[in-house]
Amino acid sequence: MNVQENISPNVNTQSPVTDTETKDDDANMVVLAECIKKTISEFNQQTLKDVNSQPLIPTPDENKDEPVSTTVNKDTTEQIETSSLILSEFYESFSTGKTFQTLEELRRTAFEYGRKHNVALTTSKSDKTKIYLICKHGGHYRKNVNKKRPDTKLIKTRIRKSQKKGCCCLIYARCCKGNFWTIRKSIGEHNHPISEDPRAYAMYRSLEAEQLSMVHKLLKENTGISSIVKSLTANGVNNIVAKDIENIQQDLKRKEAAKNKPTESFPEQKND
């Protein structure tokens, strides 16, 4: 009994909380909450202000190691302008519905356009009623398998890089009543860069009559092929390669051989 009497006074050592103190605590909590709310609001506003004040792209002064360049590559600009010019002239010359008086006129126009812009347009299909002119790089490579020769594995063939790249550029025309030709479909876009080398296509590597006579003369004088090519280049002819001069040389030799070939003579028959 004495133990209980000693413990019970220590349990209730704190004085009871009055109503006045409770109201004061509630008021302090309200004030503290308002202060916290105000602080958070000011912080958010300042943060938004800082974010909005920042530029979207750093200026060169802020990022000196990686300056922002707005300069357009000159070569790229020239390529775009050239490509646009080639395309606009294509559709001007071969727009759908355009007519040509003859097939020869259509072929000649396509050849002159191709030679001017170094675009090789070749005949894919042609008959009396229609013609397909396609880019030399059109279509896809197909391996030629000869089933009639089982010993083809023993023959070494020269590996040549295919020029076919699936280009869709084409001109499709049909012969209409009156024997004139009408463009039915034309696609001028290419899926490959246009070569700037005038020697790229053999179909455009030709010589004028005067230039060909000069080459014949130099060949007859036993001038070297490389020297002939240099001579042509010096005279402004830059679309000829050594192989072209070799072909001219072979053709000249064939003509000379045919000219000097002795004709067979037959004995004269006497009349009875």
Q: Is the pLDDT of residue 106 over 90?
A: yes
Place of tokens 């000219």: 259
Kindly tell me if the per-residue pLDDT of 211 is higher than 60. yes
Q: For residues 133, 114, 103 and 139, what is the CA-based torsion angle, rounded to 10 degrees? A: -10
Alpha-carbon distance of 30 to 26, in angstroms, equals 6
Q: pLDDT confidence of 165, banded at 50, 70, 90? A: confident
For the cut 60, the answer to whether the pLDDT of residue 13 exceeds it is: no
HSE-up (13 A, CA, CB side) for residue 81: 6
What are 216's two structure tokens? 């014949």
Q: Give yes or no for residue 6 having a pLDDT over 50.
A: no
Q: Are 182 and 176 spatial neighbours (Cβ–Cβ below 8 Å)? A: yes
pTM over 0.75: no
Residue 18 pLDDT grade (very low, low, confident, very high; cuts 50, 70, 90):
low
- In 10 A of CB 187, how many CB atoms? 17
The whole-number average pLDDT for the span 86-111 is 95
| pLDDT tens-digit map of 231-269 | 999 988 888 899 999 999 999 889 888 888 766 555 555
| Spatial CA neighbour of 113 closest among 130, 92, 136 | 92
Paired strand residues for 174 = 130, 182
pLDDT of 180 > 70? The answer is: yes
Q: What per-residue confidence (pLDDT) applies to 178?
A: 85
Average of per-residue pLDDT across 176-186: 93
The residue extents of the domains of the chain are: 76-140+161-187, 205-258
Which residue in 206, 193, 195 sits closest to 239, CA to CA? 206
147, 149, 150, 151: CA torsion to nearest 10: -150
pLDDT one-digit tens code per residue, 108-131: 999 999 999 999 999 999 999 999
Q: What are phi and psi of 147, to 5 degrees?
A: -80, -15
The answer, yes or no, to whether residue 32 has pLDDT greater than 60, is yes
Tell the burial category of 133 from Cβ atoms under 10 Å away from its Cβ (0-12, 13-18, 19+): buried
The per-residue pLDDT for 11 is 45
Q: Tell me the C-alpha distance between 58 and 72, whole Å.
A: 19
Which residue type, as a one-letter code, is found at position 83?
A: S
User: What pLDDT, on the 0 to 100 scale, is given for residue 147?
Assistant: 57
Residue 3 has pLDDT above 50, yes or no: no
Q: CA-to-CA distance for 45 and 198, rounded, in angstroms?
A: 67
Q: Dump pLDDT digits (tens) for 123-153.
A: 999 999 999 999 999 877 666 655 565 555 5
Q: Is the pLDDT of residue 227 over 90?
A: yes
pLDDT at 221: 92
Average pLDDT rounded to a whole number, residues 187-193: 92
As beta bridge partners, residue 138 has: 167
Q: Could you give the 3-state DSSP secondary structure of residue 249?
A: helix
Tell me what percent of the residues of the chain surpass a pLDDT of 90.
37
How far out from the chain centre does Cα 204 lie?
A: 22
Residue 29 pLDDT greater than 80, yes or no: no
Token look-up 């209409």 returns 176
* pLDDT value, residue 164: 77
